[in-house]
C-alpha cells in the first residue's frame, strides 16, 4: 500500500498547472513579483484566481 506523499505537489494555478513548489523555487531564484512569475509559468494569466495565493507566497518570502 502506498501512502500519499507529503511532498505531493500542491497546485496553486490550475489553469497553468503551476505548483506551490515551483513558485517557491522561482521566488528563491529572485522572481520577486507576480509579473515575473506569470511570465515564467503562465500562472495568473488564465482566470486570475491564483493571483492572491501567489502574492501571498511573495509576501511570506519578503517577511
Ligand atoms: S488558477 Fe491561475 S490563472 Fe486560473
Q: What is the pLDDT of residues 11-23, one digit of tens each?
A: 999 999 999 999 9
Q: Where are the beta strands (DSSP E) in 1-63?
A: 11-13, 18-19
- Given this model, what pLDDT does residue 52 score? 97
24 closest CA partner among 10, 35, 14, 45 = 10
- Please give the domain boundaries of the chain with CATH numbers for all domains: 12-62 (1.10.10.1100)
Query: What is this structure's pTM?
Result: 0.84
In this structure, the residue with its CA closest to atom 1 of ligand 1 is 13
Please say whether the beta carbons of 12 and 2 come within 8 A: no
CA 36 / ligand 1 centre spacing (Å): 15
pLDDT band for position 49 (cuts 50, 70, 90): very high
pLDDT band for position 61 (cuts 50, 70, 90): confident
- Given this model, what pLDDT does residue 62 score? 76
The yes-or-no verdict on residue 27 having pLDDT over 60 is yes
C-alpha distances out from residue 49 to 1, 2, 28, 45, 46, Å: 35, 32, 23, 9, 8
CA 16 / ligand 1 centre spacing (Å): 6
Amino acid at each position: 500500500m502506498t501512502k500519499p506523499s507529503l511532498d505531493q505537489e500542491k497546485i496553486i494555478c490550475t489553469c497553468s498547472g503551476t505548483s506551490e513548489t515551483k513558485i517557491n523555487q522561482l521566488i528563491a531564484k529572485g522572481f520577486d513579483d507576480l509579473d515575473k512569475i506569470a511570465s515564467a509559468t503562465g500562472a495568473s494569466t488564465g482566470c486570475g484566481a491564483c493571483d492572491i495565493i501567489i502574492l501571498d507566497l511573495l509576501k511570506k518570502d519578503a517577511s
